[in-house]
Every structure is written in C-alpha cells, then in structure tokens.
C-alpha cells in the first residue's frame, strides 16, 4: 500500500529541523560564552612604559619595555625604533621578569645612526617558563638640547616564545616622548618706571621640576652675580637699566631669560617725573601699611621691605625736588 505524506507532516518535519538547529546553535553559544563569575584572561601585550613622558631637551630619559598577561614565556625579542636626529640609546639592561624563572642568555644591538635598538633574551633551560607581567628590558636615552616636539617610540619585529619554542601572539602598544626646551623667564621686574631704588628679581623655570646647578643675573650688561633663587637688587641708580637672568640645569643645559628694561625714578611715587608734596601725600596715605592692608600702595614701598614706614619717608626726603623729566 502506498502511503502518502500529508502537507501537515511535511510542515512538522521542517519545524522539527528548525528547532533542532536552534537548540544546537544555542548550545554552541552557551559553550563559547563565559559563565557568570568566570575569569576572562586579557590578551598578552608588549608595551612601551610609560606610554608617554615629558623630558627637558638635552636631558636623559629611560623607558621600560614590558609584557603583560603572558603565559609560559621562555624567550623574547623586541626592536624599538626612535628618531636618530633627536635621541640616541646609551644603554640597555635586561629586566627582572624573564630571569625570575632562571638563568638567561641574550644581548642587544643598537644602531643610533638608523634609530633602532634590538634586544633578545632566553631562559637557558628548555621548558622553563614564566607567566604574568613584568619588565623585559630598560632602555636609556640621551637627547639633543636643540630638539623639541613629540617623538614616537615604536615597537616592531616582536617575537615571544614558549619554553618549547612556540610563538605566543601578543598585542603591541607603542610610546612617545615630548621634548620641551629648558627656559628661564623673568617675571619681575616688569618693563616700567619704579620709584624704589630696589627691584625684586623673580624668575620662572620651564619645565617646573628643573633642578639648577647655578643661576645668576646680569644688570646693564655687567658681570654675572650668582644667586640661589629669587632675590632683590638694591641701591639702583636713577635712570634706565636692563636685566637678564642666566641658569644651568643639572644636566648641563644652559638658558638665558628675556631681557627686561626698566627705569628708576627714586621716590617718584606718582610717576609724574617729579618728587614733591604729591608723592609725600601718597606715602602718608599708605603709612604703616603692609601688602594685605586696604590702603597699601606698592609704589610707596621705596625700600621694598613690604612695609611703608619711616625708612620710606626718609628715602622720599632725600629725593624731594628731583625732576626726572
């Protein structure tokens, strides 16, 4: 007897197949997805650390080449590229990570003319490995004092092997260094005319963390006067002057500040070119005040001691009648 399949049975068969496929796919997805609370291991990477840093041009700096989240590593090889016109490698030392698992052998090749350094290290014992994160090598650089700007430090030809000679894939993260010039800026005195025969000499360094070997100022092109920081120049003669500060940092880089031109008109508090009763009046109004006082008048502090008193009045008395116009 011939049995005829109904359309209904065909539909049911198709539906059964679709359900089966959905179940299988669901099982595969469930097997591939991490369960709640499971630990997901991050991809291994080789990195320039720090990823970026600011360095005074002409000063040395170091970077570490690190590895993170590596499993069963037995050897490494890394090439780092840099700008040979602005920096050079002075030294390479192996990090502590690989040799924490035993004795290592290796070396490095530096080519400062083409701008690259390659290092390679391996554990001597076959099958010996180390896992985790750490430093593969430390690279020491010197920089040019005339070089400024942002420069890349790029990794290439990186090979990381297991203890049995198999390649371990890793991600690469490059770095950069920002070279900024060493500068000295005079912030005081400012260009202008002053009633005091004393001026405060204040200067700022860039970068701010710069450590100085020495600093000095030159007044009117004269001999340098050594200073240890901000200072005051006293007993200035009436007339025009100019001032420059020079400095050298602890890496041997030298810099000269901007030149500030200023004029001294002793006791001319009002700035009208004459010393008379109007200057006396200004001093009287500010008498016995200090910078925080509401009646403070900086121009009336003729000896720059941050208090207006009899000593300032004395200086004014010595200069009454002077005409600087």
Output the pLDDT for position 22. Answer: 35
pTM above 0.85, yes or no: no
Domains within the chain, CATH numbers bracketed: 45-180 (2.60.40.680), 182-264 (2.60.40.10), 272-325 (1.10.1330.10)
Map tokens 């490059």 to a residue.
174
What is the per-residue pLDDT across 85-134, written as a single tens digit (0 to 9) for each?
999 999 999 999 999 999 999 999 999 999 999 999 999 999 999 999 99
Q: How many angstroms separate the Cα of 285 from the Cα of each of 49, 290, 292, 308?
A: 61, 12, 15, 10
Q: Are 290 and 280 in contact (CB under 8 A)?
A: no
Query: Is residue 60 pLDDT above 90, yes or no?
Result: yes
Which structure tokens are listed for 258? 């901007």
What is the per-residue pLDDT across 66-82, written as a single tens digit (0 to 9) for each?
999 999 999 999 999 99
Three-state secondary structure along the chain? CCCCCCHHHHHHHHHHHHHHHHHHHHHHHHHHCCCCCCCCCCCCEEEEECCEEEEECCCCEEEEEEEEEEEEEEEEEEEEECCCCCEEEEEEEECCCHHHHCCEEEEEEEECCCCEEEEEEEECCCCCCEEEEEEEEEEEEEECCCCCEEEEEEEEEEEEEECCCCECCCEEECEEEEEECCEEEEEECCCEEECCCCEEEEEEEECCCCCEEEEEEEECCCCCEEECCCEEECCCCCEEEEEEEEEEECCCCEEECCCEEEEECCCCCCCCCECCHHHHHHHHHCCCCCCCCCCCCHHHCCCCCCCCCHHHHHHHHHHCCCECC
Mean pLDDT along residues 188-197: 95
Output the pLDDT for position 4. Answer: 42
Q: Are 92 and 117 in contact (CB under 8 A)?
A: yes
Query: Is residue 273 pLDDT above 70, yes or no?
Result: yes
What is the per-residue pLDDT across 155-188, written as a single tens digit (0 to 9) for each?
999 999 999 999 999 999 999 999 999 999 999 9
**How far, rounded to the nearest angstrom, does the alpha carbon of residue 160 sit from its chain's CA centroid?**
31
How large a percentage of the chain has pLDDT more than 70? 87
Output the pLDDT for position 251. Answer: 87
Q: What is the mean pLDDT of the chain?
A: 89
- The Cα 219–Cα 298 span in angstroms is 23
């Amino acid at each position: 007897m011939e049995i005829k399949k109904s359309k209904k049975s065909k539909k049911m068969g198709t539906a059964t197949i679709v359900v089966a496929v959905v179940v299988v796919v669901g099982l595969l997805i469930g097997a591939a997805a991490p369960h709640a609370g499971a630990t997901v291991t991050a991809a291994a990477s080789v990195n320039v650390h720090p990823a970026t840093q600011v360095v005074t041009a002409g000063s040395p700096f170091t970077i570490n080449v690190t590895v993170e989240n590596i499993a069963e590593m037995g050897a490494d090889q890394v090439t780092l590229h840099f700008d040979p016109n602005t920096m050079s490698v002075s030294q390479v030392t192996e990090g502590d990570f690989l040799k924490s698992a035993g004795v290592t052998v290796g070396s490095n090749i530096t080519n400062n003319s083409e701008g690259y350094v390659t290092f390679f290290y391996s554990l001597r014992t076959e099958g010996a490995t180390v896992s985790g994160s750490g430093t593969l090598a430390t690279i020491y650089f010197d920089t040019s004092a005339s070089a400024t700007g942002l420069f890349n430090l790029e990794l290439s030809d990186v090979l990381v092997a297991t203890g049995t000679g198999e390649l371990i894939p890793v991600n690469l993260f490059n770095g950069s260094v920002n070279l900024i010039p060493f500068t000295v800026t005079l912030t005081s005195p400012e260009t202008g005319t002053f009633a005091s025969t004393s001026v405060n000499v204040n200067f700022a360094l860039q970068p701010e963390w710069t450590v100085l070997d020495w600093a000095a100022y030159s007044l009117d092109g004269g001999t340098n006067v050594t200073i240890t920081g901000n200072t005051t120049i006293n007993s200035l003669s009436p007339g025009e002057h100019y001032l420059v500060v020079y400095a050298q940092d602890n890496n041997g880089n030298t810099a000269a500040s901007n030149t500030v031109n200023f004029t001294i008109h002793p006791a001319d508090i009002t700035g009208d070119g004459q010393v008379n009763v109007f200057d006396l009046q200004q001093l009287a109004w500010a008498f016995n005040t200090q910078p925080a006082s509401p009646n403070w008048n900086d121009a009336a502090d003729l000896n720059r001691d941050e208090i207006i008193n009899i000593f300032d009045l004395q200086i004014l008395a010595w200069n009454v009648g002077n005409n600087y116009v």
